[in-house]
Amino acid sequence: MSVRILKPEKLTACERVDEISGERVLLCKQCGICTASCPNIQEMDLSPRELMHLIQLGALEEALESKSIWVCSSCLQCSVKCPRGIDIAGVMETLRAMRLRARLGCLAPAETLDAACADAPPILLISAMRKLTG
């Protein structure tokens, strides 16, 4: 059995995200169910479906620049509903990790949330979203 080991710079954008997340982004069929399920979609600049598409197209830098990866509250609504079984919340986490590993910085809560929520503890916001969205 041969084992293929590639240096990170030889991997495609999809392969890099897949390697860290353990998912297969190319399986995404662009149905948009993740976007329709997301309770935070109104605060996002790119929908989860659009982020998946950018990664598929190799536009990783654009995906990493998106505000959406910081708006995502890891509620898992998208992950449980994806017909292709992709853990989109895990892909979001991967994109955040890639930014942090590259020392590209992150958005502060005050930049991602309504001003009225800026001082609220994250667990309160996640809990409220779960209760309000079922």
Contacts of 78 (CB under 8 A, 6+ apart): 33, 34, 35, 37, 38, 48, 88, 89
User: Is residue 125 close enough to count as binding ligand SF4 by CB under 6 A?
Assistant: no
User: Is residue 17 close enough to count as binding ligand SF4 by CB under 6 A?
Assistant: no
User: Is residue 112 close enough to count as binding ligand SF4 by CB under 6 A?
Assistant: no
Count the Cβ atoms, other than its own, within 10 Å of residue 21: 22
d(CA 13, CA 44): 22
User: Is residue 33 close enough to count as binding ligand SF4 by CB under 6 A?
Assistant: yes
State which of residues 55, 64, 82, 113 lies at the interface with ligand SF4 (CB under 6 A): 82
Q: Site map for ligand SF4, 46-65, x if CB under 6 A?
A: --xx--x-------------
d(CA 38, CA 104): 25
Footprint on this chain of ligand SF4 (rule: CB under 6 A): 28-34, 37-38, 40, 48-49, 52, 72-78, 82-84, 86, 88-89, 92
